[in-house]
Amino acid sequence: MRKSLLALGVVAAVSAVPAQAEYLFGFGGMYVDYQAWNHGIGNDNDNFNADIEDRNQAVIGIEGGAVFDWGQIYGFYDYEGVDRAGDDRGASTKGTIHYNLTDSGISLYAQVYNTDKDNDGNGGALHEQNRVIGLGYTGLKGDGWGFTPFIGIHQINSGNIRGNNGGMFGYVGYYNTDIAGQNFTFSTWNELEFARNDEYSNLQSTDFNSGVNSESWGLNGSLNAMWNINQNWSTGVLYRYTVNKLARKDYQDLVIYRVQYNF
């Protein structure tokens, strides 16, 4: 009986949150991307000498985010390789949340990123999940701009690599402005992984997973420029950069071309 009452209390509390939370603003959209892995200045083959051009792919995705008085949420889903055969595709999804602990904007932060591929290039499939929990800050914001940093403990599940994977520091930022009578949104995100475990470090930063000159850190991020043609349609370019990440050592990059329909 006591457990039943406790469960009912939890349900009641959760049910009450939407009524008490104030929605401030949000966004959402569907998009079509073309990921050109051979565009940019760092076009090396991956750490296993696979031709990087083989990663070029079309992607259909959906994303959305919302800001409330208690914090903010964001998520996306990408269906990858839609220009390939049905047994050579993949999907990636991510969810993040900042829950404000203080009025100043110090937040409890959590994220989950999951990616799956039907073909890992070596005759098998790929699954990787990254989890982060830590602290963030949501107080850096103004009219048409925002900057939200975080730092946390990083865990991973990828094949035989499981468990603690050091820490992660990152941020998300955006700036919306008018230029020559046209509206543009400039945004960025960045994730710095540090003190990674040896197995993951070797995979990401050495040739053929050799461990020679292995680096325990990696960088993953993007610089984005979107032209908002009207209220519903946007198009632009996303410059993605990595260091010792996505199975490519040193500095590498790719360019993503996007057309987006905004809700």
Asked if the structure places residue 6 within a domain, the reply is no
| Phi and psi at residue 201, to the nearest 5° | -60, -45
The pLDDT score that the predictor gives to residue 20 is: 65
The pLDDT score that the predictor gives to residue 119 is: 83
Residue 209 DSSP label: G
The pLDDT score that the predictor gives to residue 43 is: 77
The low-confidence residues of the chain, meaning pLDDT below 70, are 1-20
Sign of CA dihedral 242, 246, 250, 251: negative
The pLDDT score that the predictor gives to residue 7 is: 37
Using one digit for the tens of pLDDT, what is the confidence trace for 227-260?
A: 999 999 999 999 999 999 999 999 999 999 999 9
Q: Do 81 and 110 contact (CB within 8 A), yes or no? A: no
Asked if the structure places residue 13 within a domain, the reply is no
Q: Do 200 and 178 contact (CB within 8 A), yes or no? A: no
The domain total for the chain is 1
Token couple for 31: 């998009």
In the numeric block, the tokens 């900057």 are attached to: 147
The pLDDT score that the predictor gives to residue 120 is: 77
Asked if the structure places residue 229 within a domain, the reply is yes
The pLDDT score that the predictor gives to residue 11 is: 36
The pLDDT score that the predictor gives to residue 13 is: 38
The pLDDT score that the predictor gives to residue 9 is: 40
Asked if the structure places residue 15 within a domain, the reply is no
Asked if the structure places residue 45 within a domain, the reply is yes
Asked if the structure places residue 181 within a domain, the reply is yes
Asked if the structure places residue 114 within a domain, the reply is yes
| Phi and psi at residue 20, to the nearest 5° | -90, -25
Helices and strands in the chain: count of H runs, count of E runs: 2, 13
Asked if the structure places residue 198 within a domain, the reply is yes
107-114 — which CB contacts under 8 Å span 24+ positions? 107/71, 107/135, 107/136, 107/137, 107/138, 107/150, 108/133, 108/135, 108/136, 109/133, 109/134, 109/135, 109/136, 109/150, 109/152, 110/134, 110/152, 111/152
In sequence order, what are the beta bridge partners of 235? 227, 259
- Residue 147: give its domain's CATH number: 2.40.230.20
User: 93 exposed, middle or buried (CB, 10 Å; 0-12, 13-18, 19+)?
Assistant: middle
Domain containing residue 223: 25-262
The pLDDT score that the predictor gives to residue 187 is: 98
Count of other CB atoms within 10 angstroms of residue 194 = 15
CA distance linking residue 142 with residue 159, whole number of Å: 43
